[in-house]
Copies of this chain bind each other. A is one copy, B any other.
Amino acid sequence: MNAPSPQLHPEIHSHPAPAALLQALAARFGSQYSAAQVVREQHGRDESAFSVPPPAAVVFAQSTQDVSDSVKLAAQYKVPVIPFGVGSSLEGHLLAVQGGISLDVSRMEQVLAINAEDLTVTVQAGVTRKQLNEAVKSTGLFFPVDPGADATLGGMAATRASGTNAVRYGTMRENVLALEVVTAQGEVIRTGTRAKKSSAGYDLTRLMVGSEGTLGVITEVTVKLYPLPEAVMAATCSFDSLADAVNATIQVIQMGVPIARCELLDANTIRMVNQHSHLSLREGAMLLMEFHGSPAGVQEQVETVQTIASDFGGQTFEWASTPEARTRLWTARHNAYFAGIQSRPGCKAITTDTCVPISKLADALLDSVTEAQASGLTYFLVGHVGDGNFHMGYLIDPDSAEERATAEQLNTQLVQRALKLGGTCTGEHGVGLHKMDFLVQEAGAGAIAMMRAIKQALDPDNLMNPGKIFK
């Protein structure tokens, strides 16, 4: 199998939108419509390292009806529609590689129904994870899925996002109960109910979760909530080597410890985080952990993990004992990406996202770090290692073709390694523009043909976020 060649720029087939469409959108949406250059450019970039011409116009949807009308108008003129939340995609999901209009759902920020007695909440797609948790705060419940950015629930569902709590609470795959979706034909459908389980027909909810806007636009999301744990303890533990930290993690997971968060940063990244977040964490490979449960349950988990950590030469746990200290610690972790970016002014990050079976984590991670170090590129390393998922961020000068090629080569080697180990090219960021070749390798031609058949059946004119997932 040949490695795909490093992809320096996405393939662009951008066509101008017909003036008649733009006029129709302007007439329908008034001040909710903009074709101003600055607004288009804001909606023409994300956190990826790609550079692509912006969309032809932006519609700021405030309701499902707005989304439906936008999709129907665009379909009439055979113009692509690209859903937009807060712009935090790392893989070019939001870029108008085939032209089209950006459909910004960030004003769809109503919390529609808090059903505390059923541990569910239904929100519009533009509600962010922090807004959601703020809204349910008084119920004693919380929503655990937490990608680094304060992303929208619609975007999180569309990319099958996860984050630091997934090791215990699962990803969007496990936590979305039901969706409202506007189809490529502009029809509004509901997938799923608020029942905890169901065998009623094809699982459209999970087909839409992770479909990256290519099968329809998500307009409402119903997710599970969890009781705030009675006891929460967070700690850091520093190790002499990366291998020790990784092997300690593997053992924690294999023992079945229900750890709530188990995050790895290497010494290099700790340095960036210390600088960015004004912390003074010990500059070694570090696990950041959190334990949820009853006081006794947390105590049991802590004892087990302390024993394992100490077997691998881990230092004493440093406790973040107050809620404020915990918040400071996790905010710093969530900002590690930005800490990395800011460590090299003007740089862009090319981010990796492999996830492997837990027993293969050391094999997948350690060689990749060695390769990154040998390359001379600046990089950061963070990992949801309890899930076997980690991210390298290669910090490149976006104008340097050489650095970009080096980063893509490192990424390719890293992905090939993960696939050989039975893993996936993307644990939580999605395919977007960046991993289309890797997806073919991972899934195989037959599974890709099935995905394409579904895409063709649901979006025959290829107008829903075209050019993503598949070439």
Contacts and interface: CB of A to CB of B under 8 A. Distances in A.
Contacts of A195: 355-357, 388-389, 422-424, 427
Contacts of A448: 201
Given A453-B457, A457-B456, A198 B355 contact: yes
Interface in A166-195: 166, 170-171, 173-174, 183, 187-191, 193-195
A255 to B, nearest CB: 7
A444 interface: yes
Interface string A312-339: 0000000000000000000000000000
Given A115-B359, A196-B387, A450-B458, A202 B211 contact: yes
A5 interface: no
Contacts of A458: 450, 453-454
A254 interface: yes
A186 B227 CA distance: 47
Interface string A384-406: 00011100000000000000000
A117 B360 CA distance: 9
Nearest to A118: B357
A202 B454 contact: yes
A216 to B, nearest CB: 9
A193 B457 contact: no
A234 interface: no
A422 B177 CA distance: 12
Contacts of A443: 190-191, 200-201, 204
A422 B115 CA distance: 12
Contacts of A355: 195-198
B200 A426 contact: yes
A424 B198 contact: yes
A435 to B, nearest CB: 7
A199 interface: yes
B189 A389 contact: no
B189 A444 contact: yes
Interface in A266-296: 293-294, 296
Interface string A406-435: 000000000000000011111111110001
Given A166-B197, A200-B435, 18 more contacts: A117-B359, A160-B203, A161-B199, A162-B197, A171-B197, A189-B444, A189-B447, A189-B450, A191-B447, A197-B387, A197-B389, A197-B428, A198-B355, A200-B431, A200-B443, A204-B443, A296-B296, A456-B457
Closest 6 CB pairs of A and B: A457-B457, A227-B256, A189-B446, A206-B206, A198-B424, A117-B359
Interface of A: 115, 117-120, 159-162, 166, 170-171, 173-174, 183, 187-191, 193-204, 206-207, 209-211, 215, 226-227, 254-256, 293-294, 296-297, 300, 353, 355-360, 387-389, 422-431, 435, 438-439, 442-444, 446-451, 453-458, 469
5 contacts: A159-B199, A166-B197, A191-B447, A197-B389, A296-B296
